[in-house]
Chain A
Amino acid sequence: MAASASARIGEYVTGHLTYLTNKPQTSLINFTVINYDTVFFSVLLAVLFGGSFYWVARRMTADSARVPRGFQSFVELVVEWVDGQVKDVFHGNNPLIAPLALTIFCWVYLCNFMDLLPVDLLPDLARTIGLSHLKTVPTTDLNYVFGLSLPVFFLTLYYSFKVKGPLGFLAELTLQPFTSKNVFVQALFVPINFVLESVTHLARPLSLALRLFGNMFAGEMIFVLLALLTLVHGYPMLATFSGWGLAIMQLALTFLWGVFHLLIITIQAFIFMMLTIVYLAMAHERH
């Protein structure tokens, strides 16, 4: 009994950690494998975001005098808020940054929000149409979070190059944080600076991606673990008081964690957006 229960728990948890792929992946990196579920849900949410905002945008452009209400007010609120955040941090002129920030915030938020759907709802539905696994939260997939942070990283490199020039960028990498008026000492500092600055730059996409990933993965894991409270017992447990206690505890804790998680998914989407703005603003700054 104990062995089969723990086996079932292991199976359940593993099931929630397994992607719907074209073939099992054994090595850490294998570019012939696709996570269908991550791609499906992220693209679905991208279409939801792009489509709904575009729907509002088209009607606004058609009649700019119309009084905003309903969904349009909400969209305007989000757009204006993002615009304000960008303007607070970045004072240059770059038409990419604000739309990029909006895209990141909305897309990451929607992907995070998938975490608030009951953990077994969509996987169980998928099982009824014959899909063995389904991970519904794209932000718990390393591929998704790096798929965001790496383009942001490339953009910061691109703008550093473009704004400061190759030499300016090289100087930024090698002539700080340690500086000296003595030329020879400065020459000595160059390799040290280069290592430090390289680590600084490389750590950004890593921390950006893993912060989001860690928060969302942990959040999903808590929901999975809360589901385990009643999983092994099944309906027979409702015959006992302790069984009812467990069921009620699961509901209460899931609710509380859901409320808390609502905060987390918003904050994580916000942090990802803000850091992106900050990194891009830093790329535009000359020293």
Chain B
Amino acid sequence: MHINLTLIIQMLAFAALIWFTMKFVWPMILGPMQERERRIAQGLAAADQGEEELKQARAGGEAILREARERAGVILDQAQHSANEIIERARVSATQEGQRLVMAAQQQIELEAARAREQLRRQVGEIAVAAAAKLLEREIDPRAHEALLEEFAAQI
């Protein structure tokens, strides 16, 4: 139990150790620890935020989906409607076209019938003239009797 030079040496060693700890140990351990703490806090906050955003996005997506579904229904209705309209219009125009064709055909038929009738009439006239000529034994001048022939034809 003596006090000697060891005391001085111990004080110097203590001072050196404090200096070393203060300079190279303490800040180099506590600094990264605080940095890590900050990062973890940041990470947790980011996770919370992400979850919140996900929730919002999910809600937004659902809204969009619902809206899209509604719009699809509307569009479908419209399409159905316009399809009906088109069919109706087509039917109407087809009917009109058919009527027009029928009418044209009737006219054609009438025309043909009139022409045939005319021809027939002329032939009958000619036959009648020929018959009359044979009966009279002489030539009937068709030019002189044209009016007569016409009258015949009209009567037939």
Contacts and interface: CB of A to CB of B under 8 A. Distances in A.
A25 B2 contact: yes
Nearest to A49: B17
Interface in A25-81: 25, 27-35, 38-39, 42-43, 46, 49-50, 53-54, 56-58, 60-61, 64-65, 75-76, 79-80
Interface string B30-41: 111101100100
B3 interface: yes
Interface in B1-60: 1-11, 13-18, 20-22, 24-26, 28-33, 35-36, 39
A238 to B, nearest CB: 36
Contacts of B15: 151
Contact of B29 (A31, A57, A95): A57
A61 B7 contact: no
User: Interface majority SS on B: helix, strand, loop or mixed?
Assistant: helix
Given A54-B25, A103-B17, A38 B6 contact: yes
A146 B18 contact: no
Interface residues of B, number: 32
Nearest to B7: A143
Contacts of A35: 4, 6
A39 B24 CA distance: 23
B2 A102 contact: no
Nearest to A138: B10
B11 A150 contact: yes
Contact of A99 (B1, B21, B35): B21
A34 B4 contact: yes
A29 B29 contact: no
A110 B18 CA distance: 15
User: Interface majority SS on A: helix, strand, loop or mixed?
Assistant: helix
B10 A42 contact: yes
A103 B33 CA distance: 19
Contact of B30 (A33, A46, A83): A83
Given A60-B32, A100-B18, A147 B11 contact: yes
Given A60-B32, A142-B3, A99 B22 contact: yes
Nearest to B12: A147
B107 to A, nearest CB: 97
Given A39-B6, A99-B18, A146-B3, A57 B25 contact: yes
Given A57-B28, A99-B22, A151-B15, A25 B33 contact: no
Contacts of B21: 50, 53, 99-100, 102-103
Nearest to B1: A142
Contacts of B31: 61, 64
Interface of A: 21, 25, 27-35, 38-39, 42-43, 46, 49-50, 53-54, 56-58, 60-61, 64-65, 75-76, 79-80, 83, 95-96, 98-100, 102-103, 107, 138, 141-144, 146-148, 150-151
8 contacts: A28-B3, A31-B4, A38-B6, A50-B24, A64-B35, A65-B36, A100-B18, A151-B14
**9 cross-chain pairs, A with B, having the tightest CB-CB distances, nearest first:** A147-B10, A57-B28, A143-B6, A64-B32, A33-B4, A99-B22, A99-B26, A60-B32, A143-B7
